[in-house]
Amino acid sequence: MNAANSNECRETGLLEKPELAEISISSGIELKSHIFLLSPAPCCAQSALPFWGKVQGKLCSSKTEDVLASAIVTLYDDGGSNIIQYSDTFAIEAGATTEFEVKLLEFRDLTKSYSITITERGPL
pLDDT at position 42, please? Answer: 60
Enclosing domain of residue 23: 18-41+48-123
pLDDT at position 107, please? Answer: 76
57 within domain boundaries: yes
pLDDT at position 86, please? Answer: 96
Q: CA torsion 91→93→99→103, rounded to 10°?
A: 10
pLDDT at position 49, please? Answer: 63
2 within domain boundaries: no
95 within domain boundaries: yes
Q: In whole angstroms, what is the distance from residue 103 CA to residue 119 CA?
A: 17
11 within domain boundaries: no
pLDDT at position 10, please? Answer: 42
Q: What is the CATH number of the domain that holds 112?
A: 2.60.40.3230
12 within domain boundaries: no
108 within domain boundaries: yes
Number of compact structural domains in the chain: 1
- Name residues whose C-beta falls within 8 Å of residue 110's C-beta, 6 or more positions apart in sequence: 77, 78, 83
Residues of the chain with pLDDT under 50: 1-10, 45
